[in-house]
Amino acid sequence: MSAIQVRSLTRTFKARKRSGEVRALQGVDLIVERGECFGLLGPNGAGKSTLIKILTTLLLPTSGQALVTGYDVATEPFQVRRRINLVSGGDNSGYGVLTVRETLHLFSQFYGVPGPVARKRAEELMEVTGLAEKADQKLAALSTGMKQKLNFARGFMSDPEVIFLDEPTLGLDVEASRDVRGFVARWVRERPERTVLLTTHYMMEADELCGRVAIIDHGRILALDTPAALKRMLPEEPTFEFQVSATGEDLERLRGIVGLRSMSHHAHPATGAVELRIVVEEDDVIGEVLGRLKGLDRSVLHLTKTEPTLETVFMHHVGRGLSDEEAEERDGR
Protein backbone atom coordinates (compact mmCIF):
# COMPACT_ATOMS: atom_id res chain seq x y z
CA MET A 1 0.00 0.00 0.00
CA SER A 2 1.34 3.44 -0.91
CA ALA A 3 1.78 6.15 1.72
CA ILE A 4 -0.03 8.72 -0.42
CA GLN A 5 -2.27 8.19 -3.43
CA VAL A 6 -3.85 11.15 -5.14
CA ARG A 7 -6.18 10.69 -8.10
CA SER A 8 -7.51 13.48 -10.33
CA LEU A 9 -7.54 15.86 -7.38
CA THR A 10 -9.02 19.31 -7.94
CA ARG A 11 -9.66 22.15 -5.55
CA THR A 12 -11.25 25.47 -6.34
CA PHE A 13 -11.77 28.51 -4.12
CA LYS A 14 -14.08 31.47 -4.50
CA ALA A 15 -11.99 34.40 -5.66
CA ARG A 16 -11.81 37.00 -2.90
CA LYS A 17 -11.50 40.19 -4.88
CA ARG A 18 -13.22 39.32 -8.12
CA SER A 19 -16.02 37.10 -9.27
CA GLY A 20 -15.39 33.55 -10.35
CA GLU A 21 -13.09 31.02 -8.80
CA VAL A 22 -9.45 30.19 -8.36
CA ARG A 23 -8.35 26.71 -9.37
CA ALA A 24 -5.68 25.81 -6.85
CA LEU A 25 -5.36 22.18 -7.98
CA GLN A 26 -6.29 20.93 -11.43
CA GLY A 27 -6.40 17.15 -11.72
CA VAL A 28 -3.34 16.20 -9.70
CA ASP A 29 -2.26 12.55 -9.78
CA LEU A 30 0.47 11.45 -7.41
CA ILE A 31 1.71 8.32 -5.70
CA VAL A 32 4.26 8.44 -2.89
CA GLU A 33 5.49 5.07 -1.69
CA ARG A 34 6.22 4.22 1.92
CA GLY A 35 9.77 5.02 2.93
CA GLU A 36 10.14 7.83 0.41
CA CYS A 37 11.27 11.35 1.08
CA PHE A 38 9.30 13.12 -1.61
CA GLY A 39 9.80 16.75 -2.60
CA LEU A 40 7.16 19.11 -3.91
CA LEU A 41 8.58 22.20 -5.60
CA GLY A 42 6.64 25.12 -6.91
CA PRO A 43 6.38 28.89 -6.84
CA ASN A 44 4.01 30.69 -4.46
CA GLY A 45 0.40 29.94 -5.37
CA ALA A 46 1.35 26.80 -7.27
CA GLY A 47 -0.93 24.62 -5.15
CA LYS A 48 1.63 23.02 -2.80
CA SER A 49 0.03 24.18 0.43
CA THR A 50 -3.47 23.38 -0.83
CA LEU A 51 -2.35 19.85 -1.60
CA ILE A 52 -0.78 19.49 1.84
CA LYS A 53 -3.90 20.86 3.54
CA ILE A 54 -6.04 18.31 1.72
CA LEU A 55 -3.66 15.47 2.61
CA THR A 56 -3.62 16.54 6.26
CA THR A 57 -7.47 16.68 6.38
CA LEU A 58 -7.63 20.46 6.80
CA LEU A 59 -9.36 20.98 3.46
CA LEU A 60 -11.75 18.93 1.36
CA PRO A 61 -11.04 18.38 -2.32
CA THR A 62 -13.55 19.73 -4.81
CA SER A 63 -13.28 16.48 -6.76
CA GLY A 64 -10.99 13.49 -7.01
CA GLN A 65 -9.66 11.34 -4.21
CA ALA A 66 -6.72 11.43 -1.83
CA LEU A 67 -5.67 8.47 0.30
CA VAL A 68 -3.07 8.67 3.05
CA THR A 69 -1.82 5.31 4.37
CA GLY A 70 -4.81 3.82 2.58
CA TYR A 71 -7.45 6.00 4.25
CA ASP A 72 -9.56 8.55 2.44
CA VAL A 73 -8.86 12.06 3.74
CA ALA A 74 -12.47 13.12 3.08
CA THR A 75 -14.36 10.21 4.60
CA GLU A 76 -11.89 8.77 7.14
CA PRO A 77 -10.11 11.85 8.52
CA PHE A 78 -9.61 10.47 12.04
CA GLN A 79 -7.85 7.36 10.66
CA VAL A 80 -5.57 9.63 8.64
CA ARG A 81 -4.86 11.94 11.59
CA ARG A 82 -3.68 9.07 13.79
CA ARG A 83 -0.91 8.41 11.29
CA ILE A 84 0.30 11.82 10.18
CA ASN A 85 1.78 15.05 11.44
CA LEU A 86 2.51 18.43 9.93
CA VAL A 87 5.26 21.00 10.35
CA SER A 88 4.72 24.32 8.63
CA GLY A 89 7.65 26.70 8.61
CA GLY A 90 6.90 29.92 10.43
CA ASP A 91 4.02 28.48 12.47
CA ASN A 92 3.77 28.81 16.24
CA SER A 93 3.56 25.80 18.51
CA GLY A 94 2.37 26.12 22.06
CA TYR A 95 2.04 28.84 24.63
CA GLY A 96 4.47 31.37 26.06
CA VAL A 97 3.97 30.22 29.64
CA LEU A 98 4.98 26.62 28.91
CA THR A 99 8.54 25.36 28.73
CA VAL A 100 9.97 23.59 25.68
CA ARG A 101 9.72 20.21 27.41
CA GLU A 102 6.12 20.82 28.51
CA THR A 103 5.12 21.91 25.01
CA LEU A 104 6.46 18.76 23.41
CA HIS A 105 4.68 16.68 26.05
CA LEU A 106 1.43 18.61 25.51
CA PHE A 107 1.27 17.85 21.81
CA SER A 108 2.26 14.20 22.32
CA GLN A 109 -0.85 13.78 24.48
CA PHE A 110 -3.13 14.66 21.58
CA TYR A 111 -1.81 11.54 19.84
CA GLY A 112 -2.10 9.22 22.83
CA VAL A 113 1.65 8.77 23.23
CA PRO A 114 2.19 7.09 26.65
CA GLY A 115 3.89 9.37 29.20
CA PRO A 116 7.26 7.55 29.52
CA VAL A 117 7.56 7.18 25.73
CA ALA A 118 6.69 10.86 25.26
CA ARG A 119 9.30 11.96 27.81
CA LYS A 120 12.04 9.83 26.22
CA ARG A 121 11.12 11.02 22.73
CA ALA A 122 11.06 14.66 23.82
CA GLU A 123 14.57 14.33 25.28
CA GLU A 124 15.87 12.76 22.05
CA LEU A 125 14.24 15.38 19.85
CA MET A 126 15.50 18.25 22.01
CA GLU A 127 18.99 16.77 21.77
CA VAL A 128 19.05 16.44 17.98
CA THR A 129 17.43 19.80 17.33
CA GLY A 130 19.73 21.67 19.71
CA LEU A 131 16.95 22.51 22.16
CA ALA A 132 18.28 20.47 25.08
CA GLU A 133 19.82 23.49 26.79
CA LYS A 134 16.53 25.34 26.54
CA ALA A 135 14.38 22.44 27.75
CA ASP A 136 13.15 24.26 30.84
CA GLN A 137 12.93 27.70 29.30
CA LYS A 138 9.52 29.23 28.63
CA LEU A 139 8.55 29.68 24.99
CA ALA A 140 8.09 33.41 25.54
CA ALA A 141 11.85 33.66 26.10
CA LEU A 142 12.86 31.73 22.97
CA SER A 143 14.24 33.29 19.80
CA THR A 144 12.30 32.87 16.55
CA GLY A 145 14.78 30.26 15.35
CA MET A 146 14.41 28.27 18.56
CA LYS A 147 10.62 28.44 18.32
CA GLN A 148 10.87 27.13 14.79
CA LYS A 149 13.04 24.26 15.95
CA LEU A 150 10.49 23.49 18.64
CA ASN A 151 7.71 23.46 16.05
CA PHE A 152 9.81 21.06 14.01
CA ALA A 153 10.41 18.75 17.00
CA ARG A 154 6.69 18.85 17.82
CA GLY A 155 5.87 17.31 14.46
CA PHE A 156 7.96 14.25 15.24
CA MET A 157 6.65 13.70 18.78
CA SER A 158 3.90 11.38 17.53
CA ASP A 159 6.40 9.38 15.43
CA PRO A 160 4.03 9.69 12.45
CA GLU A 161 3.89 7.23 9.57
CA VAL A 162 3.76 10.17 7.17
CA ILE A 163 5.08 13.59 8.02
CA PHE A 164 4.32 16.67 5.96
CA LEU A 165 7.07 19.27 6.10
CA ASP A 166 5.87 22.53 4.57
CA GLU A 167 8.92 24.80 4.23
CA PRO A 168 10.39 23.42 7.48
CA THR A 169 13.59 25.47 7.35
CA LEU A 170 11.88 28.78 6.60
CA GLY A 171 13.47 31.45 8.79
CA LEU A 172 16.19 29.20 10.17
CA ASP A 173 19.84 30.18 9.99
CA VAL A 174 22.28 28.13 7.91
CA GLU A 175 23.48 25.98 10.78
CA ALA A 176 19.98 25.24 12.11
CA SER A 177 18.78 24.40 8.59
CA ARG A 178 21.66 21.96 8.22
CA ASP A 179 20.73 20.34 11.56
CA VAL A 180 17.12 20.00 10.46
CA ARG A 181 18.07 18.47 7.11
CA GLY A 182 20.43 16.08 8.88
CA PHE A 183 17.66 15.05 11.25
CA VAL A 184 15.15 14.41 8.44
CA ALA A 185 17.69 12.36 6.48
CA ARG A 186 18.49 10.27 9.56
CA TRP A 187 14.82 9.86 10.50
CA VAL A 188 13.98 8.43 7.09
CA ARG A 189 17.10 6.24 7.04
CA GLU A 190 16.44 4.79 10.49
CA ARG A 191 12.72 4.22 9.85
CA PRO A 192 12.45 2.80 6.35
CA GLU A 193 8.67 2.48 6.65
CA ARG A 194 8.19 6.21 7.40
CA THR A 195 7.42 8.73 4.68
CA VAL A 196 8.21 12.42 4.29
CA LEU A 197 6.48 14.84 1.96
CA LEU A 198 8.54 18.01 1.82
CA THR A 199 7.79 21.34 0.20
CA THR A 200 10.64 23.78 0.04
CA HIS A 201 11.88 26.89 -1.69
CA TYR A 202 15.45 25.66 -1.32
CA MET A 203 16.39 23.50 -4.30
CA MET A 204 19.52 22.30 -2.58
CA GLU A 205 17.37 21.01 0.28
CA ALA A 206 15.18 18.99 -2.09
CA ASP A 207 18.22 17.75 -3.98
CA GLU A 208 19.90 16.62 -0.76
CA LEU A 209 16.89 14.98 0.91
CA CYS A 210 14.43 13.80 -1.68
CA GLY A 211 14.50 10.56 -3.61
CA ARG A 212 11.86 11.93 -5.99
CA VAL A 213 10.66 15.42 -6.73
CA ALA A 214 7.52 16.81 -8.35
CA ILE A 215 7.42 20.28 -9.86
CA ILE A 216 4.00 21.86 -9.52
CA ASP A 217 2.69 25.10 -10.97
CA HIS A 218 -0.83 26.47 -11.51
CA GLY A 219 -2.22 23.41 -9.73
CA ARG A 220 -0.68 20.91 -12.13
CA ILE A 221 2.28 18.60 -11.77
CA LEU A 222 4.65 19.50 -14.58
CA ALA A 223 7.41 16.98 -13.92
CA LEU A 224 8.01 14.13 -11.51
CA ASP A 225 11.09 11.93 -11.14
CA THR A 226 14.35 11.58 -9.23
CA PRO A 227 16.43 14.77 -9.17
CA ALA A 228 19.09 13.07 -11.30
CA ALA A 229 16.54 11.91 -13.89
CA LEU A 230 14.94 15.34 -14.02
CA LYS A 231 18.32 16.90 -14.70
CA ARG A 232 19.06 14.33 -17.40
CA MET A 233 15.72 15.06 -19.05
CA LEU A 234 16.70 18.66 -19.70
CA PRO A 235 17.57 19.44 -23.28
CA GLU A 236 21.26 20.05 -23.49
CA GLU A 237 20.99 23.78 -23.24
CA PRO A 238 23.93 25.68 -21.82
CA THR A 239 23.40 27.43 -18.49
CA PHE A 240 25.47 30.43 -17.45
CA GLU A 241 25.77 32.18 -14.11
CA PHE A 242 26.86 35.82 -13.97
CA GLN A 243 27.60 38.33 -11.30
CA VAL A 244 26.90 41.75 -12.75
CA SER A 245 26.80 45.29 -11.50
CA ALA A 246 23.32 45.97 -12.84
CA THR A 247 19.80 46.50 -11.59
CA GLY A 248 16.96 44.07 -12.02
CA GLU A 249 15.38 46.57 -14.40
CA ASP A 250 18.47 46.49 -16.66
CA LEU A 251 18.42 42.74 -16.74
CA GLU A 252 14.77 42.55 -17.71
CA ARG A 253 15.85 44.19 -21.00
CA LEU A 254 17.73 41.00 -21.84
CA ARG A 255 14.54 38.99 -22.08
CA GLY A 256 13.99 39.78 -25.75
CA ILE A 257 17.26 38.21 -26.91
CA VAL A 258 16.68 35.49 -29.49
CA GLY A 259 17.87 32.12 -28.17
CA LEU A 260 17.53 33.02 -24.50
CA ARG A 261 15.36 30.25 -23.07
CA SER A 262 14.90 31.44 -19.49
CA MET A 263 16.41 33.81 -17.02
CA SER A 264 16.35 34.47 -13.28
CA HIS A 265 18.15 37.03 -11.18
CA HIS A 266 18.37 38.29 -7.64
CA ALA A 267 20.52 40.77 -5.75
CA HIS A 268 23.24 39.31 -3.57
CA PRO A 269 22.50 40.74 -0.12
CA ALA A 270 26.16 40.91 0.97
CA THR A 271 27.85 42.36 -2.12
CA GLY A 272 24.96 44.25 -3.73
CA ALA A 273 25.88 42.64 -7.06
CA VAL A 274 23.15 40.88 -9.02
CA GLU A 275 23.38 37.17 -9.62
CA LEU A 276 21.99 36.30 -13.02
CA ARG A 277 21.29 32.80 -14.27
CA ILE A 278 20.35 32.22 -17.88
CA VAL A 279 19.64 29.20 -20.03
CA VAL A 280 20.39 29.66 -23.72
CA GLU A 281 19.77 27.53 -26.80
CA GLU A 282 23.41 27.70 -27.90
CA ASP A 283 26.65 29.02 -26.45
CA ASP A 284 26.75 31.75 -29.12
CA VAL A 285 23.80 33.55 -27.51
CA ILE A 286 26.01 34.50 -24.60
CA GLY A 287 27.89 36.92 -26.91
CA GLU A 288 24.65 38.84 -27.49
CA VAL A 289 23.97 38.92 -23.73
CA LEU A 290 27.43 40.32 -23.03
CA GLY A 291 27.00 42.85 -25.83
CA ARG A 292 23.71 44.08 -24.36
CA LEU A 293 25.24 44.42 -20.91
CA LYS A 294 28.13 46.39 -22.38
CA GLY A 295 25.62 48.60 -24.21
CA LEU A 296 23.97 49.31 -20.87
CA ASP A 297 27.40 50.18 -19.45
CA ARG A 298 27.22 47.34 -16.94
CA SER A 299 30.22 45.29 -15.85
CA VAL A 300 30.36 41.53 -15.66
CA LEU A 301 32.17 40.61 -12.43
CA HIS A 302 32.05 36.87 -12.82
CA LEU A 303 30.85 34.38 -15.44
CA THR A 304 30.67 30.57 -15.26
CA LYS A 305 29.03 27.85 -17.29
CA THR A 306 27.20 25.45 -14.95
CA GLU A 307 25.88 21.90 -14.95
CA PRO A 308 22.10 21.46 -14.63
CA THR A 309 20.69 21.71 -11.10
CA LEU A 310 17.18 21.34 -9.76
CA GLU A 311 16.93 25.11 -10.08
CA THR A 312 17.60 24.72 -13.81
CA VAL A 313 15.00 21.99 -14.02
CA PHE A 314 12.55 24.23 -12.20
CA MET A 315 13.26 27.16 -14.50
CA HIS A 316 12.86 24.93 -17.55
CA HIS A 317 9.38 23.83 -16.48
CA VAL A 318 8.06 26.95 -14.76
CA GLY A 319 9.79 29.60 -16.87
CA ARG A 320 11.43 31.39 -13.97
CA GLY A 321 13.41 30.59 -10.86
CA LEU A 322 12.27 30.42 -7.24
CA SER A 323 14.97 32.95 -6.42
CA ASP A 324 13.07 35.51 -8.55
CA GLU A 325 10.10 35.17 -6.22
CA GLU A 326 12.24 35.55 -3.14
CA ALA A 327 13.75 38.70 -4.58
CA GLU A 328 10.31 40.05 -5.41
CA GLU A 329 9.06 39.33 -1.90
CA ARG A 330 12.14 40.99 -0.45
CA ASP A 331 11.68 44.04 -2.64
CA GLY A 332 7.98 44.19 -1.74
CA ARG A 333 6.89 43.77 -5.34
Partner 1 sequence: MNLAAVFARAGVRVKASFRESSWVIGETVFPFLSMSAFVLVYRGLHAPKEYEGFVVLGGAMIAYWNNVIWGMASQFFWEREQGQLQLYLITPVSRMSILLGMALGGIAMTTTRAVAILVGGMLLFHVELPLSRALPAFGLFLLTLGAAYSLGMILSSLFLLWGREVWHTATILQEPVYLFSGFYFPVSAMGAVVAILGSILPVTLGLDGIRQIFYGKAAHGLLPLGWIPPIQIALTAIFLTIASVMLRYMENLGKHEGRLTMRGD
List interacting residues with partner 1 (CB under 8 A). Answer: 13-14, 53, 56-60, 78, 81-82, 84-86, 88, 90-95, 97-98, 102, 105-107, 109-112, 138, 154
Residue 82 or 220 with smaller CB distance to partner 1: 82
Residue 97 or 174 with smaller CB distance to partner 1: 97
Sheet harboring 63-68: ordered strands across?
21-32, 4-14, 63-68, 71-72
Q: Which segments within 99-173 are labelled E, that is strand?
A: 162-166
Residue 7 or 138 with smaller CB distance to partner 1: 138
Shortest Å, Cβ 200 to partner 1: 19
User: In sequence order, what are the beta bridge partners of 276?
Assistant: 242, 265
Shortest Å, Cβ 2 to partner 1: 20
Shortest Å, Cβ 45 to partner 1: 14
How many angstroms separate the first and last alpha carbons of the chain?
Answer: 45
Residue 155 near residue 123, CB atoms below 8 Å: no
- Name the strand (E) or helix (H) holding 38: strand 37-41
Phi-psi region of 278 (alpha: psi -120 to 50; beta: other; left: phi over 0): beta
Q: Which of 58, 86, 80, 57 is nearest to 151 (CA)?
A: 86
Residue 76 or 288 with smaller CB distance to partner 1: 76
Shortest Å, Cβ 81 to partner 1: 4
Residue 139 or 184 with smaller CB distance to partner 1: 139
Shortest Å, Cβ 112 to partner 1: 3
